[in-house]
Amino acid sequence: MTDAPALDLAAGSVAVTRALVDLESVSGNETAIADAVEAALRAFPHLEVTRDGDAIIARTNAGRAQRAVIAGHLDTVPVNGNLPSRLDEDGTLWGRGTVDMKGGCAIALVLAAELTTPSVDVTWVWYDHEEVEAELNGLGRLARTHPELLAADFAILGEPSNGEVEGGCNGTLRVDVTTRGRRAHSARAWMGENAIHAAAPILARLAAFEPETIRVDGLDYREGMNAVKIAGGVAGNVIPDECTVHVNYRFAPNKSGAEAVERVRELFDGFEVVVADLAEGARPGLDAPLAQGFLTAVGGEARPKYGWTDVARFSALGISAVNYGPGDPGLAHADDERVPVEQIERCERGLRAWLTTRD
């Protein structure tokens, strides 16, 4: 183990959030923070603690009829002058990871230590490599190699949601739409075929595309289809023979990934389309009995999650899942990343109320 500072889980979720933020854990460098989390949890005999790489799993086994997973990722995007943390007098906590998502991780740590006999058995998960390539994702690794550790009736992911419940998530698809031409000297352009010019209809179709808002299990998911990158050109005096438009389609969870791919191929009929990346969405799953009890306990109304999150991994396992955590998603990854401590405290109260309510 590393010499990471000890975490005092009795200090409260705000203090633990700050301690986690000050443990730099950019993706690929999570060992120290994982060591600190593991060491803190092993002090509590009501938890069965397992480690897989830099993912820590802690389970209660109180014999409850139902089980929930409450999960969060320990890694962050790179630091850019926003560590160590600072706490302003107005109750704002600043620093890398305050939003995405060490507040959610801290709440889980505090409640995992405190709640020895929760109303449902809980599998608490803190995992690695969420902010990088999907094949490295620690939750995905657990789903592939130890799915039994994630077995549950309901799941909550502590992703930032402004302290509100966000159900499911949109899927995301990225494709390369390519045109081909023939090189020639630009002084004799008529001897070639300009692939960049040939891409104009691709952009025209995207500009004319009208994204839908689709109601799925009571929540309205906004779709989007956009060019996010374009590449082409050889030299300043050469007619280009290739141009690729990189297109991102955010699709509602009423569609499968295969249906989303077919939708894109239809839009770009006549062009070469290659799938670069695909992640399935997740339906809200708010009709699950545990989800209904959770919504009642935390208050408010559920909203859709437009961005993709790891709730989709739970959905793929047949587990209904929601996002619920402190922080404005619009500040995730920003240099001025910050969270009101009120949101951390409110989310902690909501989860505690749910996990201590007996039917």
The residues that are catalytic are 75, 130
Q: Decide: 36 and 4 in contact? Cβ < 8 Å.
A: yes
- The total of other beta-carbon atoms located within 10 Å of residue 227's CB is 15
Give, as one character, the DSSP assignment of residue 209.
-
What residue has token string 């695909």? 278
Q: Please say whether the beta carbons of 139 and 129 come within 8 A.
A: no
As given in the structure block, the two tokens for residue 223 are 């779709």
Residue 179 to residue 205: CA distance in whole angstroms: 14
Q: Phi/psi class of residue 292: alpha, beta or left (left: φ > 0; alpha: ψ in -120 to 50)?
A: alpha
Residues 84 and 82: their CA atoms lie apart, in Å, by: 6
Q: Which amino acid is at 121?
A: D
Tell me how long the chain is. 359
**Residue 293 near residue 130, CB atoms below 8 Å:** no
Helix (H) or strand (E) segment spanning residue 185: strand 184-185
Tell me the Cα Rg of the chain.
Answer: 23
Q: What distance in Å separates the CA atoms of residue 357 and residue 335, rounded to the nearest whole number?
A: 39
DSSP assignment string, 26-46: BTT--HHHHHHHHHHHTT-TT
H helices present in 88-146, as ranges: 103-114, 138-145
Whether residue 61 contacts residue 146, with contact meaning beta carbons closer than 8 Å, is answered with no
Which residue has tokens 């951390």? 344
CA dist., res. 236 & res. 185, Å (int): 10
What's the rounded Cα separation, in Å, for the pair 21 and 25? 8
